[in-house]
Amino acid sequence: MRTITAFSILSLIVILLAPLEAAAQRKADPGAFDYYILSLSWSPAHCSRPDRDDDPDQCGAGKNHGFVVHGLWPQHEQGGYPRSCSAQRTVPKAVVDETMPVMPSPSLMVQQWQKHGTCSGVDVVKYFATLRDAAARVTVPDAVKTPKPDLSLPPEKLQSLFTEANPGLTPDMVAVICARRQVTEVRVCLDKDLKFRACGKGVADRCGKGMALKG
């Protein structure tokens, strides 16, 4: 009888896992994705966190941002997303300057480019141009354009405001995200031509009872 050694078992595991590793690598190839999520962060929620003192462009004194772009994320239809498809981290100053009106955090731009933008299949200039174009396609409702001290809006009402303000946007194309018992983010699903589309698997509202958008 042939003796099965630890080396034999290890070799078998490597052989069996090789196709899975190849598939995972193919999924992470730049440009190999199905659609985008445009993530809009509610700035008051972001800036209320105790670790935001190092983000003066978004959270410094006198800043009064409402919804700002958190990122433009390539997504897979069946769930998940490619990430960090290369080690590129540099975002040119000209790109930063152009993007600040919709995404007022240079450090976030660098982080988002490395994690998500490098998987888009385009260079850094084109990626942020696409991000700005995506932001321009989504109308932020008048009721939440500017933070207000007395603002308290349930997630379902916020979603309705977004669908009413954006013709063609339906509830299955937008998700409201909560953390720390408040709304922190709205995610809008877009196809590669930046038209509204239904979100893929795993993209859904994440808010519990009693949570609200607060100014």
pLDDT along the chain (215 residues), means of 10: 41 40 52 97 90 78 93 97 94 98 96 98 98 98 94 97 98 96 97 98 95 94
pLDDT score for 176: 98
| Token reading at 193 | 């031509």
Q: Residue 176 to residues 114, 161, 212: CA-CA distances in angstroms? A: 25, 12, 10
Sheet holding 67-75, edge to edge: 67-75, 35-42, 182-190, 174-179
| Token reading at 115 | 């994690």
pLDDT score for 130: 98
pLDDT score for 146: 93
pLDDT score for 11: 41
| Token reading at 148 | 């207000």
Q: Return the CATH superfamily for domain 33-214.
A: Ribonuclease T2-like (3.90.730.10)
| Amino acid (one-letter) located at 54 | D
pLDDT score for 106: 96
Q: What does R_g of the chain's alpha carbons equal in angstroms? A: 20
Distance separating alpha carbons of residues 191 and 16, to the nearest angstrom: 35
pTM for the model stands at: 0.85
pLDDT score for 9: 38
The closest alpha carbon to 120, from 37, 186, 185, belongs to: 37
| Residue 90 backbone class (left: φ over 0; alpha: ψ -120 to 50; beta: rest) | beta
Q: Residue 192 to residues 8, 74, 124, 213: CA-CA distances in angstroms? A: 46, 9, 17, 29
Inter-residue contact 153 to 136 (CB < 8 Å): no
